[in-house]
């Protein structure tokens, strides 16, 4: 890794064990599997005392009690104002520094209500200097055998050009830290590759990104279209949260449809079953590549602490993947990398004839 950051000797993750559709029935087995696969990691398990009882005595594991749970259907107001001792809030608080003392955990993982998680995380941790709005970033598989990082995925429905520039800087830090690419390429999602296409916000964002590229702040490829995400045209694709969320749900739906298709073909007549058997190895490889469980774990970028969001319906395998993404991010100093990129951009913006202020 470049940039003067060295890997951490150990990583401690705080886990909201009560979040998601399944709670401890999924999170605890996932945590056990994660600990077995990461001997240098430690976990802080947060939840109702009786729910955490199966984890009592686990090595490299600390149990922290909470008295409340944020339900998946709870409004943001309830999570933020009324449930102040929820497992979600207590877990997030583990990554907040206590005065001059470092935080208890390096990152937090929750499968809880997305709106509540973003609101509570923003309230408890606050945003980094130079960041107006946090963004949600995740990865999608591409045909090159790797993945494309996309943000924002729903935290911000209405975005300004400056917000899209911030997303690009944060996404670059994420891919640089976790993907090991010093200068990952950034694409701006648009209805065409030409710079003249798109609404005024998109065209203005393109101008800012080109100026940031010229100043050496990031590697801007240019405008990209939706199919470029799965082609792997760029390492990162930036868009507003409305478009990003629709894109994410569509991709998940296609992956689920592939699984249903395979099962249906085996339930048909002998001819279809024989054809399905012949094609099964290819179908299975494709299904594995697009399986959204493998890519579970979205980063909430722009906060003064690392928070990762697991899909609410995640099974133990998927939740373990989210833990792994949080581990990699903390291990490679994602928070410090985001801070460094934003600080450099702000310093550039303060200089005469520089990129407009963030």
Q: Has residue 358 been placed in a domain?
A: no
pLDDT, residue 111, reads: 97
Query: Rounded to an integer, what distance in angstroms lies between the CA atom of residue 312 and that of residue 95?
Result: 21
**61: which 2 tokens?**
């594991």
Q: Which of 22, 33, 114 is closest to 323 using CA atoms? A: 33
Structural domains counted in the chain: 2
CA angle 154, 156, 157 (to 5 degrees): 85
Query: Rounded to an integer, what distance in angstroms lies between the CA atom of residue 123 and that of residue 316?
Result: 29
pLDDT in tens, 181-218: 889 999 999 999 888 889 999 999 999 999 999 999 99
Contact 153, 237 (CB under 8 A): no
pLDDT, residue 10, reads: 86
Q: Has residue 337 been placed in a domain?
A: no
CB atoms within 10 A of CB 273: 13
Shared domain for 126 and 136, answered yes or no, is: no
Shared domain for 162 and 79, answered yes or no, is: no
pLDDT, residue 265, reads: 62
Q: Which of 141, 200, 131, 203 is closest to 167 using CA atoms? A: 131
Shared domain for 201 and 213, answered yes or no, is: yes
Q: Has residue 348 been placed in a domain?
A: no
Give the phi and the psi of residue 301 in degrees, each rounded to 5: -95, 145
Query: Rounded to an integer, what distance in angstroms lies between the CA atom of residue 79 and that of residue 20?
Result: 14
pLDDT in tens, 305-325: 999 999 999 999 999 999 999
Under-70 pLDDT residues of the chain: 1-9, 255-256, 258-259, 261-292, 347-358
**Residue 78: CATH number of its domain:** 3.40.718.10
Shared domain for 242 and 289, answered yes or no, is: yes
Contact 295, 140 (CB under 8 A): yes
Shared domain for 90 and 152, answered yes or no, is: no
pLDDT, residue 277, reads: 65
Whole-structure pTM value? 0.87
Q: Has residue 204 been placed in a domain?
A: yes
Contact 242, 164 (CB under 8 A): no
Domain end: 269, 294, 319, which one?
Answer: 294
Contact 334, 306 (CB under 8 A): yes
Shared domain for 268 and 310, answered yes or no, is: no
Question: Could you list the residue range(s) of the whole structural domain that residue 153 is in?
Answer: 132-294
Q: Has residue 353 been placed in a domain?
A: no
Shared domain for 320 and 175, answered yes or no, is: no
CB atoms within 10 A of CB 180: 12
pLDDT, residue 261, reads: 66
Shared domain for 206 and 224, answered yes or no, is: yes
Shared domain for 24 and 126, answered yes or no, is: yes
Tokens 């833990």 sit at which residue?
A: 323
């Amino acid at each position: 890794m470049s940039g003067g950051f060295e890997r951490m000797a150990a990583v401690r993750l705080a886990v909201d064990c009560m979040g998601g559709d399944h709670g401890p029935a999924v999170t605890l087995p996932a945590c056990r599997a994660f600990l077995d696969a990461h001997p240098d990691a430690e976990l802080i398990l947060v939840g109702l005392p009786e729910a955490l009882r199966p984890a009592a005595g686990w090595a490299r594991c600390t149990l922290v009690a909470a008295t409340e749970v944020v339900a998946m259907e709870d409004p943001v107001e309830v999570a933020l104002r009324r449930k102040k001792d929820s497992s979600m809030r207590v877990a997030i608080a583990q990554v907040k520094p206590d005065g001059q003392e470092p935080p208890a955990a390096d990152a937090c993982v929750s499968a809880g209500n997305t709106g509540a998680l973003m609101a509570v995380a923003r309230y408890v941790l606050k945003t980094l200097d130079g960041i107006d709005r946090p963004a949600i970033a995740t990865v999608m598989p591409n045909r090159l055998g790797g993945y494309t990082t996309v943000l924002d995925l729903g935290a911000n429905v209405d975005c300004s050009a400056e917000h899209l520039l911030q997303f690009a800087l944060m996404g670059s830090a994420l891919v640089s830290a976790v993907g090991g690419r010093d200068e990952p390429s950034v694409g701006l999602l648009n209805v065409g590759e030409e710079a003249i296409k798109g609404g005024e916000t998109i065209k203005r964002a393109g101008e800012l990104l080109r100026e940031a590229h010229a100043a050496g702040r990031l590697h801007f490829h240019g405008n990209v279209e939706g199919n470029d995400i799965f082609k792997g045209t760029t390492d990162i694709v930036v868009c507003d949260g409305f478009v990003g969320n629709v894109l994410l749900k569509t991709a998940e739906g296609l992956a689920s449809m592939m699984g249903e298709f395979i099962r249906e073909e085996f339930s048909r007549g002998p001819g279809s079953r024989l054809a399905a058997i012949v094609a099964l190895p290819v179908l299975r490889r494709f299904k594995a590549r697009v399986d959204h469980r493998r890519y579970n774990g979205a980063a909430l970028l722009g906060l003064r602490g690392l928070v990762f969001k697991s899909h609410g319906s995640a099974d133990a395998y998927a939740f373990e993947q989210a833990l792994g993404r949080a581990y990699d991010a903390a291990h490679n100093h994602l928070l410090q990398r985001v801070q460094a990129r934003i600080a450099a951009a702000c310093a550039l913006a303060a200089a005469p004839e520089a990129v407009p202020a963030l």
